[in-house]
A and B are shown apart, each in its own frame.
Chain A
């Protein structure tokens, strides 16, 4: 395998693909913090266009819960719709968006809060190279099915990887979930002493887990080796891309020793 490692090489190539017509993308999040909850509406761009995503303004955006409350979201900036509120665990939220004459609906139930006990660093040894990896420590509740999504920030920079877990094989245990990280530099050492790391943990519902899991499955190996890529199944109706997630949110930070 050493030989293979030595021989492998990378290069930029041109591929032949068509640019798709713009599609509507909704990313809605309701968390259990009292904050300006955000629903973002934008559009896709073609594969070979610049990553400047058109915002969708003038939409009607509402969220209602199963207690009969309705929250009207207002457009704070182009494509950014906000409402200051707090989501509650166990409540099902329904999103209703009308944009460019079409109506889109989704619902998501906020799971019970699972406490993020702490975060830390685990040191692994890969063929003689020590590698530090951020980890989230929590106790998975035994009597329910849980799904977790994490965001990792290193020195304030968002780690461009999808961290998603369920408790199918780990139900009820003390979990130490490792968040593998590749630094955006050539030496690729992972975390270094003195790095500041922040971990955000979202307790998500089953649909949102499937959404992130589908994306994470596609990210490895590219289209020829991994799973055939496809658009992840959205919980939003009428063909919109994106998702609507009611989740619990916690954030912890630490410095790598």
Chain B
């Protein structure tokens, strides 16, 4: 199928919908939170009268509905807010800008049944999980640092990167196959402090959506998921402050109007203070050590006029680890996004973005034996133009996107003559990703919805550079010298996307989806957990774009006036051009790193069950995943399929939240998962005077299972004027279970000559306390 096949269909649809729009008028506007002026994403606008219809606000709180002339009852609703009902006579294109008032916390848990939505049943979108930022605050986490990435790991189909780790795997994909975007900018390394904390400071986050499948056409570039994180816009009515003091870090956020009701800003800062304790040590070599991270989120927006709003947002984060006179390691992401929302007319909404982001790290060894500094950088410039066209039963979305990548794999400089390491500048790599996409969300009738589209993704590896071909042994066959700006290697991929829902009634539906995703930037690492020094490579003459095709089928059911949500999804995913490594591969500071790679295929399939109680004093969810994910490489495991390391057959999460009264909220989460698939020795022998293990099947063994119960309690303080505070008490791993982190093989201390497996666990039971405030 080619672009030639698709384009006429879309043009036809666009054309036909505008022809049929006679005697119809458009109701459009922006829905906001009355207290802060924040736009509300996904608020429902329902109209009834001569015709019945409903729509949701987009990422900027904007909506548009087109209907035949007449008088309608319009209801605007959003969870946690008091719905507004109005009578509107639609005899011309009409604006409806509405501000909803927040219900108080207790009223929120007993939401009026009429105000409960069945969006999960109705929408054609599947594989989508949205994180409720309010429940995020109560879910227990390690050391009390509430964390978006740890919370999504409690959802079916999402597996944790490891104990206390923010890395995650979605539906059998690898950790580098998640597209993580913050206000549209790619965040390459989403972890702080070796993965124990994520780069996302929950205070500054407005909305988090995770697509596990059925990705709409505007998203692409990674195989397995999209995590779309949006920052708070800031309060445009009054100045507000909030913050918290925890065991690990403290946070402070300020927001307020730039010009009342016209523009606002938000700044949020977070910093750890473990090293302040280190600094207090009398020992000079300890108090000179560093171990910290900090991050800043900042955003401002200004409504120039009714048609134009400009947004500027940025993220800056840094981790520092160092031992005095020995080494220093720091790493961090920078993102900057400038966006212009423009409303061409009531139906055509556009968003133009200029995005800059980078990820960089520095390693310095300072001892006199090995004295050098190594730096690495991944830098993107990105231009995005996205249009939404709201037609009668259609919402079209189309746009283009161009990203220029620059990767500096490693620059090594030495400061002293005696250093035994030589200076090295590994050649930079340049790439250009150019994308056009178009999609249509089509409500055919009350029962049938489609969301379908196509994404055409071109990737070019650009000069300057020397690009080598390798033989099987990894020797250079041929090297091409390519000049600056020359296109050396091009790949073109067409990515069809299709989802549909069929409603049996308002409470029951089936959904199906198919999507193809491709990926042109890859992490090279042969360890489990992500490391700050993970290396990024672009698709090249050797590395082909990774491709994944996923089909999914689901059944969705809501019970008790949408109080309970029940869903079951099955998926199957095929992956091509997956990457693994040769024996003894040297991935760092290696100009010929591409000679160390192996290419193969993968497959993943599974069943995800989800049961959620959304409202009431007791709410929460149960998620269960039964899955398998395998890889196949000609050079590994005799060319047979073997389980990927993160292949965990069973994965169960239970989250319970109990709102006892206005002051106390208790919550708990329980997880159980099968252990990772790992390679255990099948025999042993002696070479070089030491015991060496003999391996047969790859990843045929299993780590012990993981099980953990976390608890937390939140106590809301009494309100004093504007000032409000709360205490959060947490217990991580309340059962004090020794979950497996790693296994090493040692001489059996009880039976000399025999081998024993020694398991290391990271965390026992860990209590935490955090104090939060706002005014």
Contacts and interface: CB of A to CB of B under 8 A. Distances in A.
Q: Note whether A and B form a binding pair.
A: yes
Interface of A: 1-4, 7-20, 22-23, 25, 27, 42-53, 122, 124-128, 135, 151, 158, 160, 162, 168-176, 178, 210-215, 217, 221-233, 241-243
19 contacts: A3-B143, A10-B759, A12-B758, A16-B702, A18-B682, A42-B686, A47-B680, A127-B285, A127-B323, A128-B281, A128-B285, A135-B369, A151-B688, A158-B690, A168-B590, A221-B744, A224-B703, A229-B693, A242-B685
A158 B274 CA distance: 39
A128 B422 contact: no
A9 B680 contact: no
Interface in B687-709: 687-696, 698-704
Contacts of A211: 584
Contacts of B690: 158, 160, 162
Interface string B727-757: 0000000000010111111001101011111
Q: Report, nearest first, the 7 A-B pairs whose CB atoms are least far apart.
A: A20-B682, A214-B584, A223-B678, A44-B683, A222-B742, A17-B680, A20-B683
A11 B685 contact: no
Interface residues of B, number: 86
Contacts of B419: 173
A169 B744 CA distance: 30
B681 interface: yes
A51 B762 contact: no
Interface stretch (B513-521, B522-530, B601-609): B522-530
Contact of A46 (B283, B683, B741): B683
A135 B369 CA distance: 10
Interface in B524-578: 526-529
B471 interface: no
Contact of B759 (A3, A11, A49, A221): A11
Interface in B491-520: none
A44 B689 contact: no
A211 B60 CA distance: 57
B527 A226 contact: yes
B742 A151 contact: no
Nearest to A50: B753
B759 A162 contact: no
Contact of A178 (B289, B369, B762): B369
Interface string B260-301: 000000000000001001000101011001010000000000
B764 interface: yes
A9 B738 contact: yes
A59 B586 CA distance: 37
Contact of A7 (B274, B704, B756, B763): B763
A224 B326 contact: no
A8 B742 CA distance: 11
A228 B584 contact: no
Contacts of B761: 8-11
Contact of A45 (B277, B590, B683, B743): B683
B472 to A, nearest CB: 12
Contact of A13 (B285, B699, B755, B759): B759
A74 to B, nearest CB: 22
Given A7-B766, A135-B369, A223 B680 contact: yes
A125 B274 contact: no
A11 to B, nearest CB: 6
Nearest to A25: B685
A162 to B, nearest CB: 7
B762 A53 contact: no
A176 B369 contact: yes
A25 B687 contact: yes
Interface in B644-701: 645, 676, 678-696, 698-701
Interface-centre pick from B277, B690, B764 (highest chain A CB count, 10 A)? B690
Contact of B757 (A14, A18, A20, A242): A14
Given A20-B682, A224-B741, A44 B527 contact: no
Given A3-B766, A168-B586, A51 B684 contact: yes
B34 interface: no
A160 B326 CA distance: 25
Interface in B103-121: none
A25 B692 CA distance: 11
Contacts of A51: 684, 686, 691, 753-755
A222 B763 contact: no
Contacts of B479: none
Nearest to B367: A124
A46 B681 CA distance: 9
A51 B686 CA distance: 9
A40 B687 CA distance: 9
Interface-centre pick from B412, B678, B684 (highest chain A CB count, 10 A)? B684
Nearest to B740: A224
B325 interface: yes
A44 B685 contact: yes
Contacts of A8: 741, 760-763
A232 B754 CA distance: 22
Given A8-B761, A17-B682, A169-B421, A225 B753 contact: no
B306 interface: no
Contact of B687 (A27, A52, A213): A27
Given A12-B758, A25-B685, A176 B701 contact: no
B682 A126 contact: no
A147 to B, nearest CB: 12
B305 interface: no
Contacts of A13: 704, 740, 743, 757-759
Given A223-B679, A225-B529, A232 B766 contact: no
A128 B281 CA distance: 10
B13 interface: no
B583 interface: yes
Nearest to A232: B583
Nearest to B590: A168
Contact of A223 (B418, B636, B738, B743): B743
B761 to A, nearest CB: 5
B88 to A, nearest CB: 58
A217 B685 contact: no
Contacts of A241: 685, 687, 694
B744 A222 contact: yes
B589 A228 contact: no
Nearest to A125: B285
Contacts of A25: 685-687
B91 interface: no
Nearest to B278: A2
Contacts of A7: 762-764, 766
A174 B420 contact: yes
B760 A9 contact: yes
B741 A19 contact: no
A228 B526 contact: yes
B424 interface: yes
B483 to A, nearest CB: 28
B693 A243 contact: no
Given A168-B586, A224-B676, A45 B698 contact: no
A171 B420 CA distance: 8
A150 B507 CA distance: 70
Contacts of A176: 369, 420
Interface-centre pick from A22, A175, A223 (highest chain B CB count, 10 A)? A223
A11 B583 contact: no
A1 B323 CA distance: 13
A232 B691 CA distance: 13
A44 B704 contact: no
Given A13-B704, A173-B422, A127 B679 contact: no
Given A10-B759, A210-B583, A229-B693, A224 B678 contact: yes
Contacts of B682: 17-20, 46-47
A222 B741 CA distance: 9
